Amino acid sequence: MRVDVLTSGIWQTNSTIVSGDGGCVVVDPAYFPRELDAIAEVAAARGGAAAVVFTHGHWDHVMGHAALPGAPVWVSAALADAVAAGDPRAAQYLADARDFDARWYVPRPAGHAWPATLRGVDDGARVDLGGVAARAMHLRGHSPDGLALLFEPLGLLLVGDHLSPCEIPFVDDVEAYRATLRRLLDLLAGDVREVVPGHGRRLTAAEAAAIARDDLAYLDRLVEVGARHDVAAARAMPLPRAADVAGMADHHRDNCAKVGVAV
């Protein structure tokens, strides 16, 4: 087995290719056309894409499948169900991609659509991704449809948009996010050797655990100031990282709103 990580020019979004004897699985192929061409080339050199996985439904992670035609697309059962049910949230993910592409003149000849078929995977399931075996975990908190993959022979863990070294937690559900971080800390104390986050550089297990602890401390504090409706304390909270990145303070404000504090 081998691992290739290709990083997009937008937000250091990672596309991870794990290959085995029977081809490869491509996780979160993203984002711009020339980047998708490069991903397809690497996949072809690794025996061809036998599967595609989306770690969650957000628009920057779900636009690349058309570059890998014929490969079945795996997602969390939650995302598969949301798409099948016509959930407005799933429709919004596509609308967000459409808006971004329109704003930046990004050609998307295949359009903005979900794959014709999505294969939903349950929490804890072991899946054969075209000859590459992985254990799937539902990770909620950043989104309701998150999916992590553990490739046990490699000690490789893909976590979607949790544990990023270049952004703070973007919270959808704070309690679910805290539960996810606790679960990841347990996992990272085991046989994981490397973590690939959705955005940012590859991490050792120790680096990922340090991020998880920092993020958990940030969310614990967020919940605490939320319970007190303490606007001043919410404003004064230090960010766990990336405080100098444009827009990160806005994300903190969004997180505050999730716990009932308007700052």
Interface positions with Zn ion (CB under 5 A): 58, 161
Are the C-beta atoms of residues 187 and 166 closer than 8 Å to each other? no
* Residue of 140, 242, 166, 162 lying closest to 209 (CA atoms): 162
DSSP structural state of residue 171: -
E strand or H helix at 188, and its extent? helix 174-188
Residue 61: CB minimum distance to Zn ion, A: 6
Residue 161: CB minimum distance to Zn ion, A: 4
For Zn ion, give the closer residue by CB, 35 or 161.
Answer: 161
Residue 147: CB minimum distance to Zn ion, A: 12
For Zn ion, give the closer residue by CB, 58 or 178.
Answer: 58
The gap between the terminal CA atoms of the chain, to the nearest Å, is 48
Encoded tokens for 56: 């969650």
Q: Which residues of 221-251 are buried (b: 16+ CB within 10 A; e: fewer)?
A: ebbebbeeeeeebbeebebbbbeeeeebeeb
* Residue of 151, 152, 90, 150 lying closest to 118 (CA atoms): 90
For Zn ion, give the closer residue by CB, 161 or 215.
Answer: 161
For Zn ion, give the closer residue by CB, 161 or 194.
Answer: 161
Residue 118: CB minimum distance to Zn ion, A: 17
Residue 55: CB minimum distance to Zn ion, A: 8
Nearest residue to Zn ion, by Cβ distance, number only? 58
For Zn ion, give the closer residue by CB, 57 or 120.
Answer: 57
